[in-house]
């Protein structure tokens, strides 16, 4: 599948909602890969705010005993990847991606 930028994120997620995917994010010379499920649009916390549901331990961070939601979020310096436990309202933390251009791909796994 072709690469896209943050401006296409919501439309790409909407098209693949309900599927198992690999989300590949390239920013600042680093490539990150996350495998999980894009929930159906009706299960998004906010309209226009998709997230990837990851199995426990998939983010290599703390609080790995729970499924995690990973979102692309704007920050003052570009974008970040924000983690949240699926059953909580508050974000845990964010991985800053910086202000360099971000390129992404969504590859269907099923």
pTM: 0.90
CA–CA separation, 79 vs 31, rounded Å?
14
Model pLDDT for residues 3-46, shown as the tens digit of each residue? 999 999 999 999 999 999 999 999 988 999 999 999 999 999 88
Of 27-41, 54-68, 77-91, which has the strongest mean pLDDT? 27-41
Which of 22, 91, 15, 78 is closest to 50 using CA atoms?
A: 15
Return the pLDDT at 103.
Answer: 96
Q: Which two tokens stand for residue 102?
A: 């971000």
Model pLDDT for residues 68-81, shown as the tens digit of each residue? 999 999 988 789 99
Task: Tokens 């199995």: give the residue.
Answer: 55
With a CB cutoff of 8 Å and minimum separation 6, the contacts of 108 are 1, 16, 19, 20, 21
CA–CA separation, 72 vs 10, rounded Å?
10
CA–CA separation, 89 vs 35, rounded Å?
22
Return the pLDDT at 54.
Answer: 92
Provide mean pLDDT across the span 55-75.
Answer: 80
């Amino acid at each position: 599948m072709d690469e896209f930028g943050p401006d296409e994120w919501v439309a790409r997620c909407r098209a693949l909602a309900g599927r198992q995917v690999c989300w590949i994010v390239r920013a600042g010379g680093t490539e990150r890969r996350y495998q999980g499920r894009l929930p159906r649009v009706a299960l998004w916390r906010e309209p226009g705010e998709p997230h990837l549901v990851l199995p426990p331990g998939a983010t290599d961070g703390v609080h790995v005993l729970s499924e995690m939601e990973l979102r692309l979020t704007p920050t003052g310096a570009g974008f970040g990847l924000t983690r949240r436990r699926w059953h909580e309202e508050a974000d845990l933390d964010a991985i800053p991606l910086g202000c360099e251009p971000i390129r992404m791909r969504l590859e269907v796994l099923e």
